[in-house]
Chain A
């Protein structure tokens, strides 16, 4: 659905997305604490003076997190800033230990990339690195309402991928976000567990008249969307809501809205008037980060074959249809497993695309090893050995019993062969190679 038509007008969707993903580095972004907020058995066990924002605590940047961000940028065809820095984003919230978040303001690590979707390209504006906040827990203790803070997540590395407003349908938004998730998993830099908040979506949504060339003069930001389906639903809901406002000759309020996944609607959280001024300035605790072109080139060379490249190679080498590959590749391990399985099948004169088909349609589950997978696949299509003479005698008795069908075949209705195939298979009661059977049936019917 690219447009929405009301009684008065037809509008097109103009949408950009911001995707946050927690990187799965061993330690946190700016201190040595363990980065495992979801695995922590108790609150506040993975903390230190730095991520607790104690007086005199100082951040030291996690090199791996920076390298991974650049890796993702390179995989999305981004340009890399050879000189970048971290900035402080100042605001107050109880879960923000230092009253500022270390983020990147005007010099992100990566910029100008692209994600190809089946609805068209979505340009990437920038990818930057920042730190996650702690987590608030509102609860009641001894009858008293309290808010508790868990800093296990404080300063976990958080990557933000910002797109241009190139998304023109809720379906495209979903596909775009999924592609980002698949890439992050494939590169093994993030788990993107959306239920736990390991990956969070935000959509900037506005509508323009169908023929309009310019971007709309407002945008509505919908935050905290934690599933692909919700993203689709939130955008669909907003298109409807905004179209009604536009029909009345008004402009929707520029604001931040939340998504209610129960009511499947959005609700106002904050309007522009009370939008915060984050007072960004370069973090004096962290020296700027510089790279040489040589270092960036080396990182590019170390990248694994990208999903998009792999899909087209599989099509050429194994005749595997891209629609299956697209569905199946979600990590480097799966890609590796499939690659080996396809190679084995091809050697055995079996069709790799058949395997892709049954896996994509969930007729077969993934196995831990290539051997097991190939074996299960072969079992699925295994045929029993039945002597040809036995098959021929069955065919002949079915033909005798169904002279009308034989006559139809001879009159040119070749599809009747399907009827004989079904009858024969049932009579034999075993799995036999259907290709061979077809040949035998044609041979007998044409006698």
Chain B
């Protein structure tokens, strides 16, 4: 059962020689062998990953197995972004985040399924088949980092990496009942990550606990000379904000009265009281309506997608453009249209102006509040097949995340409720000003430790 260890536990057991790499990798391998056929989590598994792991004991991550979303270019390891366009693509270079992960002693256990090109919030657009939600296999894991979230939920790895453009880390984390941290735009390098929407793509950790997310973020964050959009900001030790509590912090509770959110709000309201008990003040506040975010995000992202996918022209990657799936084709067409002469002003430029309004709205709110909190997603994980005929599925599921993603803010989704009948989870999304991952980690950790919604924390407590 070593595969159920958290990142923190695994590192500590390996370093204390309470656990061997062989046993750890055997447990993960057994778990993958037992479940992958059904869940379709991994598209590619590394050859003999434990071999490299043994030499990494003295590194910070001690050689633990990490699941990596299949849009990170991994040296000599097939990278498809879940599209058959890249069916045979074996990168001759590596994304900066993976280089950093390896340097810190993380081992790429395998590459996880995702929505093709990260287009979607379900994994149903993957050209290698959908992933199932390990909490309830009649349901979707969410996406686009659905494979990574499922890998964590099913203990098919110790921790995982995903990427988020607007919800792609936090929404699947919420649906799978795990922790998903979307760092500030520019905190983690995009170099070597198959581009989706360049102005919001953010790599980040998907983990079993908030502390695990802090540990992983420590090692993948930081400025990169190969990505001009990374910030010069130094990386603090994020684990120092674990166990700090929330006493005296000002929390803004947003989207409480948003239409269509009633069922979730009923549960969520109660959970917000936890913070008051922990000594923070919670105030219900109005934020700019997130519904405009759908339009803004759709226009900006489709435009960038149409440009970013132009390079898959059939000259260099084996398969040509006929291999694009329906979702990619839809996005290319819409983006091409909105960027066309005569329409760019009406669509793209207007969208950028509204984006600025969101940024200003957040700046205003953060003058008063340390963090803002709302549900991660408008409901529980949807049933498999739910995306059928729903072209805007992802945009609607990510309604509560798009505005903050467009603004570049850091956010974390943590489990805050589990339905006893379906086993499915709701997530809580905590956002903070740019470069303040420390705050989201601090607040999320306080909640996680004070409640019993986190599968691994609860197990830990039961042992004690």
Contact = CB atoms under 8 A, between A and B. Distances in A.
B339 A281 contact: yes
A405 to B, nearest CB: 83
B338 to A, nearest CB: 9
Interface stretch (A55-63, A171-179, A424-432): A55-63
Given A90-B307, A277-B341, A149 B315 contact: yes
A279 B336 contact: yes
Interface string A26-58: 000000000000000000000011101111111
B190 A56 contact: yes
A261 to B, nearest CB: 30
A99 interface: yes
A100 B339 CA distance: 13
Nearest to B352: A282
Contact of A56 (B193, B315, B341): B193
A100 B228 contact: no
Q: Top 8 A-B pairs ranked by shortest CB distance? A: A99-B310, A284-B199, A279-B339, A284-B198, A56-B192, A55-B194, A53-B311, A277-B341
B80 to A, nearest CB: 10
Given A61-B228, A92-B310, A280-B344, A56 B336 contact: no
A284 B190 CA distance: 12
B190 A100 contact: no
B89 A55 contact: yes
Given A60-B225, A285-B229, 15 more contacts: A48-B93, A49-B92, A49-B93, A53-B311, A55-B86, A56-B194, A57-B191, A60-B226, A60-B228, A90-B307, A94-B315, A99-B313, A280-B339, A284-B197, A287-B228
B195 A56 contact: yes
21 contacts: A48-B93, A49-B92, A49-B93, A49-B192, A55-B81, A55-B192, A56-B190, A56-B191, A56-B192, A56-B193, A57-B191, A60-B225, A60-B227, A90-B307, A90-B339, A92-B310, A98-B310, A279-B307, A281-B303, A286-B229, A287-B229
Contacts of B93: 48-49, 54
A279 B348 CA distance: 11
Place the interface of chain B in its size category: 35 or more
B383 to A, nearest CB: 32
Interface in A93-107: 94, 97-100
Contacts of A57: 191-192
A149 B315 CA distance: 10
The residue in B72, B303, B307 that gathers the most chain A C-beta atoms within 10 A of its C-beta is B307
A53 B312 CA distance: 9
Interface string A81-121: 00000001010101001111000000000000000000000
Nearest to A50: B226
B228 A285 contact: yes
Interface in B379-434: none
Contacts of A92: 310, 313
B91 interface: yes
A57 to B, nearest CB: 8
Contacts of A281: 303-304, 307, 339, 344, 348
Nearest to A94: B315
Contact of A286 (B95, B228, B339): B228
Interface string B317-340: 000000000000000000010011
Interface in B169-208: 190-195, 197-199
A98 B344 CA distance: 21
A285 B307 CA distance: 12
Contacts of A97: 311
Contacts of A88: 307
A268 to B, nearest CB: 23
Contacts of B91: 54-55
A99 B91 CA distance: 20
Nearest to B72: A56
Contacts of B56: none
Interface of B: 72-73, 79, 81, 86, 89, 91-93, 95, 190-195, 197-199, 225-229, 303-304, 306-307, 310-311, 313, 315-316, 336, 339-341, 344, 348
Contacts of B92: 49
Contacts of A99: 307, 310-311, 313
B333 to A, nearest CB: 12
Nearest to A55: B194
Contacts of B192: 49, 55-57
Interface string A68-90: 00000000000000000000101
A55 B93 CA distance: 10
A58 B226 contact: yes
A97 B190 CA distance: 19
Contacts of A279: 306-307, 336, 339-341, 344
Could you say which of B191, B228, B316 has the most chain A C-beta atoms within 10 Å of its C-beta?
A: B228
B340 A284 contact: no
A169 B5 CA distance: 80
A248 B336 CA distance: 41
A314 to B, nearest CB: 44
A277 B344 CA distance: 11
B70 to A, nearest CB: 11
B161 to A, nearest CB: 14
Contacts of B81: 55
A286 B186 CA distance: 12
A58 B228 CA distance: 8
**Highest count of chain B CB atoms <10 Å: which of A59, A99, A279:** A279
Looking at A53, A92, A149, the one whose CB has the most chain B CB atoms below 10 A away is A53
B189 to A, nearest CB: 8
A58 B191 contact: yes
A93 to B, nearest CB: 9
Contacts of A283: 198
Contacts of B315: 94, 149
Contacts of A277: 340-341
A287 B227 CA distance: 10
A52 B190 CA distance: 17
Contacts of A286: 228-229
B311 A98 contact: yes
Contacts of B226: 50, 58, 60
Contacts of A49: 92-93, 192
A92 B314 CA distance: 12
A168 to B, nearest CB: 31
A283 B303 CA distance: 11
Contacts of B341: 277, 279
Interface in A120-161: 149
Interface in A172-198: none
Interface string A261-281: 000000000000000010111
Contact of A58 (B190, B313, B340): B190
B309 to A, nearest CB: 8
Contacts of B197: 284
A279 B343 CA distance: 9
Nearest to B348: A281
A99 B303 CA distance: 14
Given A280-B344, A281-B344, A58 B311 contact: no
A279 B333 CA distance: 13
A48 B91 CA distance: 12
A99 B340 CA distance: 16
Contacts of A284: 197-199, 229, 304
B137 to A, nearest CB: 31
B436 to A, nearest CB: 20
B195 to A, nearest CB: 6
A32 to B, nearest CB: 9
Contacts of A56: 72-73, 95, 190-195
A61 to B, nearest CB: 7
Nearest to A97: B311
Given A49-B93, A59-B228, A98-B311, A285 B339 contact: no
A131 to B, nearest CB: 14
Q: Name which of B81, B310, B341 has the most chain A CB atoms within 10 A of its CB.
A: B310
